[in-house]
Amino acid sequence: MAAPEQKRLFISDLVSLATIELRLRGRQRDEVLNELVARIPEIADRSEARQTLLRALQEREQLHSTGIGDGVALPHARNALVGLVERPVIVFGRHDQGIAYGAIDAQPAKLFFLLVTTTVTQHLQILARISRLVRDPKLRQNLTTADKPEKVLALIREAEARM
């Protein structure tokens, strides 16, 4: 008997207009993480949940930076955080100047994909998918200049269609 086919997770299905912030203002990593966490609708009015996620993100960053280079950071907790969200959520954020983020290439992070999932399997699948997407220099450039959240979503959909 064949194993049930696993539903492919698309980044464009996990990012929404509500989870896109094109004007991050923080000057340091923790300030930016706080701004990104604030964009998650499911926990926007749950202070304790926001603090739990923020602590988990900070702990992960202390282990090793999630700045992957080329101006991109993929903040995520080390493990799936059960109970915070009902389904995977990605918050896309952009910082015009960029901030020091400890990336391997020492470049400031300008594009952020905050990931919150409900299972380890989803977590790993989605991280891998985002990593593949942002390898495309044209997509990174276009995300840097997109003027509206709708444009960000369209760019991600187009890039996923080419994958």
Report, as residue numbers or ranges, the catalytic residues: 76
Closest CA to 43 of 70, 18, 76: 18
Three-class secondary structure assignment of 37-93? HCCCHHHCCCHHHHHHHHHHHHHHHHHCCCEEECCEECCECCCCCCCCCCCCEEEEE
